[in-house]
Structure 1
């Protein structure tokens, strides 16, 4: 599963949107600079960060701050909600009703049993979008916000020995389709095919520092 990821403000915008929206990218760079290189982690009652998310309104990409994980009755969900399996969405496409892109330049996973952390991505500083499904939730303060869950799929063969699953990456040419398409079984099937086109670019590097510890809920 993906429990933490990174966003380098020096990113290139090659793999996020085919027609990069400057307002979105400028807002994303500003947010990343203010975040000062901190690892992005799930939001919870003990960790109240809100992370940048690309959504769409009337077909136009928008950047908003969103809660990673679902909120139920004003509290973080008691069930696992920061990740959603692609197979679950294929079986239950109702979960595809609202979707987003999670901007990142890398994500972190621990290889077991060696307990060595690796950073995965498309190359140093390359910005990409991880598929997410969203829903509205009420925070403990009573405010309504967008909540998101990152979609995970089986890892390609060359990465499977490091971790068995990877985020569903959305190529730039499929980004608008993912954000605005009908939420059907066909959409997740097409997204999986599109993601496979990036498999050869996916790589992993060992990280000597611990990047993925401690999900504080």
Structure 2
């Protein structure tokens, strides 16, 4: 599963939406710089870290802060909700009614049994988008948030030896469809086909510190 990812303000080759709006890219750079290189993790009830996502607001794509994981009855859900399997969305497309794109420059997974962390990405610090489904959620004190869950799929063969699942990456030509098209079984099927077009570009690199020891995220 994807439980942490990175957003480096030095990102290159933005691959989020066609003719990416400079205001969106600058907003992401500013947020990432203010985040001081911290790894993005699921939102907690005590430390309410909100992460940037891209959403369709009345036909205009904007950046919005969001809670990673679902809130149910005023509290973080008791079931795993930071990730959603693509297979589940194919079986129950009703969950596709509200969607987002999560900007990232890499995500992190541990290779077992070696327990070595790897960073996955498109190489060269490229900015890319991960598919997500969203819903509104309320905390116990009555504050409302947009909550998101990253959509996961089986990893292609050349990555499966490190981790058997990966986020559904949304290539630029499909981004507006993912955000604004009707949410049905056909949409998730098309998203999986679109994501496969990026498979050959995805790499997994072991993460080590200057002393050669494994770096934990």
For structure 2, the 5+ residue unaligned runs are 209-213
Report if aligned partners of 1:39, 1:211 keep a CA contact under 8 Å in 2.
no
For structure 1, the 5+ residue unaligned runs are 213-217
Q: How many residues align?
A: 212
Name the residue aligned to 1:64. Answer: 64
Report if aligned partners of 2:129, 2:171 keep a CA contact under 8 Å in 1.
yes
> Residue 13 of structure 1: CA displacement?
4.0
Name the residue aligned to 1:115. Answer: 115
Name the residue aligned to 1:46. Answer: 46
- Counterparts of 2:106 and 2:85, CA distance in 1: 19
Query: What is the TM-score of this pair, normalised by structure 1?
Result: 0.95
CA RMSD of aligned residues (A): 1.0
- Counterparts of 2:120 and 2:131, CA distance in 1: 15
Which structure is higher in RCO with an 8 Å CA cutoff and minimum separation 6? 1
What secondary structure does 1:14 align onto? strand
Query: What is the TM-score of this pair, normalised by structure 2?
Result: 0.95
Extract structure 1 runs of 4+ deviating beyond 2 A: 209-212
Q: What is the CA deviation profile of residues 72-130 of structure 1, one whole-angstrom value per residue up to 9, with x for unaligned ones?
A: 11111010000000000000000000000000000000001110000000013100000
Report if aligned partners of 2:12, 2:124 keep a CA contact under 8 Å in 1.
no
- Counterparts of 1:99 and 1:25, CA distance in 2: 19
